[in-house]
Structure 1
Amino acid sequence: MSTEFTLKAESRDRVGKGSSRVLRRKGQIPAIIYGEKQSPVAIAIPLKEAFRQILAGSFRTRVIVVDINGEKIQVLPKDYQLDPVRDTVLHIDFLRVSEKSLVTVEVPVHFLNEESCVGLKQGGVLNIVRHEVELIAPATSIPEAITVDIQKFEIGDSIHISAAQLPANIELVIQDRDFTLATIAAPVEEEEAPATEAAAEPEAKKAEVKKDA
């Protein structure tokens, strides 16, 4: 589980495009906190810190403590908008959570022991079908990743979700089948030029020489 961190914020009374532009010029971005059957709270947070946490990874699976002038609220980032040109953060939506909250999140899949995998050592290729898996988990104990040990898998094998190490307190969103996470594919061999084409090349060169003569 990712450790939570505290994000300083300020409450804001004004909302809308005009006030959002003013915030961004000051190095802040607008955000909102909703959920837990409470009224939404409009806040402003530092742009640099928000962008740094997004780049660090696991942003949407990490509980954040938002400190609004001393009032601390546990939240989970649900969505954020990026400027399509400058790639800076424009807005963030936070979901208010508690220890009893269950959330649906996507967590990455990590494949362990690739260097000692039987199929990969034989020249096979790891073909990843799912880079992430959707889970239902307590908001305060979301796993950083789902791990799968692929050491014993051979060429031609499929790696299913049943091979993953799943924490006891989470559930899979997809429960009606043992879906595939990856396969160990056979190596792709380079195709050789057909013999007829290879034999035709010298004849073509001879014809060109006679024509020039």
Structure 2
Amino acid sequence: MAGEIPDLIATARAGTGKGAAREARRNGDVPGIVYGGGADPLPINVNFNYLLKKLHEGRFLSTLFNLKVEGQEDVRVICRAVERDVVKDLPRHVDFMRLRRTSRVNLFIPVEFVNHKDAPGIKKGGVLTVVRAEVELNVVAGEIPDHITVDLTGKEVGDVIHIHDIELPGGAKPTIERNFVIANISAPSGLRAAGGADADEAEAEDEAEAAEE
């Protein structure tokens, strides 16, 4: 199932070079360039506050956008660089690359867990511990899934769900070769003290790995 691609609004910039870039910044815009995809580079401006909001939403460099520029055909792009002011750490210039529908790109895809009621481990009081709420996948730009699904049917306390246990959408593959942990069903808190220390340590290690990657 293809996910909805968020829009990114920009305007075409008439001039190029440092003068035009300075004028854009004076007018409250961040200058940028759109390149690749077999077309000529397109100088653009993106409203500063609008861009800052997008940056604060996170994953800006790994989100596929539908770029909308008045007078231009909509095009799918991904940000390849954000130049920032060395003192204020605010955006000064952005580079976007056009993507064809057949292009491959790395994106973070949310993980959805289903059939909780059919997991015996959860019925017994076990807790679903999510190590990765999203997974970075290499996907085809024209077939981006809005999520990947983990079926909890039959899962017991102590079961660990790895990426290789999940059926990924066609054409999608993890960017990490290791068979990393997505989630596990841990024992109820009252039973952990009886022998769950090792499991808790492994869980913490997986969480640390997820944070690093």
Pick the TM interval, shorter chain.
0.5 to 0.7
Q: Which moved more, 1:133-142 or 1:55-64?
A: 55-64
Aligned-residue offset at 1:139: 1.2
1:151 and 1:90 map into 2 onto residues whose CA distance is 50
1:32 and 1:93 map into 2 onto residues whose CA distance is 5
- After superposition, the CA RMSD in angstroms is 3.7
Hey, what does 1:3 align to over in structure 2? 4
Percent identical: 33
The answer to whether the 8 A contact 1:118-1:154 is kept is yes
Aligned residues: 188
Aligned-residue offset at 1:40: 4.7
Give the counterpart letter for 2:155 in structure 1: F
SS of the residue 2:142 aligns to: helix
Give the alignment of 1:87-98 within 5 angstroms: 91-98=93-100
Aligned-residue offset at 1:184: 0.9
Aligned-residue offset at 1:26: 2.9
Hey, what does 1:76 align to over in structure 2? 77
Query: Is the alpha carbon distance of 1:12 and 1:164 closer, same or farther for their aligned partners in structure 2, counting shifts above 3 Å?
Result: farther
Give the alignment of 1:55-70 within 5 angstroms: 60-67=62-69, 69-70=70-71
**TM-score in terms of structure 1 length:** 0.65
Deviations 1:63-100 (A, max 9, x none): 41332x523352333357589x9997665432211122
Hey, what does 1:147 align to over in structure 2? 149
Whose Rg is larger?
A: 1
- Show structure 1 runs of 5+ residues with no match: 192-213
Query: Is the alpha carbon distance of 1:153 and 1:8 closer, same or farther for their aligned partners in structure 2, counting shifts above 3 Å?
Result: same
1:171 and 1:62 map into 2 onto residues whose CA distance is 17
Aligned-residue offset at 1:173: 2.9
1:45 and 1:140 map into 2 onto residues whose CA distance is 25
Give the counterpart letter for 1:103 in structure 2: V
The answer to whether the 8 A contact 2:80-2:95 is kept is yes
Hey, what does 1:46 align to over in structure 2? 47
Hey, what does 2:201 align to over in structure 1? none
Query: Is the alpha carbon distance of 1:21 and 1:185 closer, same or farther for their aligned partners in structure 2, counting shifts above 3 Å?
Result: farther
| Mapped pair 1:183 → 2:184 | yes
SS of the residue 2:158 aligns to: coil
